[in-house]
Amino acid sequence: MVFTKRLREGIRRGRIRCSVRIWVRPQVKAGGRYRMDEGHVVVDSMTPIRLTDISDDLARESGFSGVKDLLATAKHGRGDNVYLIRFHYLPPGAWDVQRTPGEDRNEGRAAAGSQSSSGSRSQLLRRIRSSEPPTLHKGGPTTRSTRRRGG
């Protein structure tokens, strides 16, 4: 995702967290990380919207002075599909933790701070131990080649 230079500082500071794009087809996907300057923009969601859904409030939230200003930047190609993209910025060296839908960013950190990495490790070990081992046939584990040969 490419942003005009005048918006980048607001994105880095977290003041701009959405963008309206007009494309022929989607160019980003939710969960995708896209380089911006020395950090990354991580797409949280991408929602198709109508051109009439773009309000002055949405334009200002996107870093523009109004709808006219936003459309002057967004309408530059052959696309006619309008997308509202919500994202957050990751500074250089930052790691992004996947969130479950509806989870508050700070709430996840508070819970993670009280749980050590050994807690998640033991949870993984429990899942591995409770899983079923692969079925062994007389020739060993089933693979594509053993299925074709018949055993």
How is residue 114 written in tokens?
A: 């009280």
- The mean pLDDT value for 14-43 works out to 95
Unique residue bearing structure tokens 């334009």? 59
Cα-based distances in Å from 31 to 15, 26, 28, 87, 149: 20, 14, 9, 9, 42
Average pLDDT taken over every residue of the chain = 81
Average pLDDT over residues 113-139: 64
Whether 11 contacts 3, CB under 8 Å:
yes
pLDDT for residue 86 is more than 70: yes
Is residue 7 pLDDT above 70, yes or no?
yes
Q: Mean pLDDT, to the nearest integer, of 37-51?
A: 95
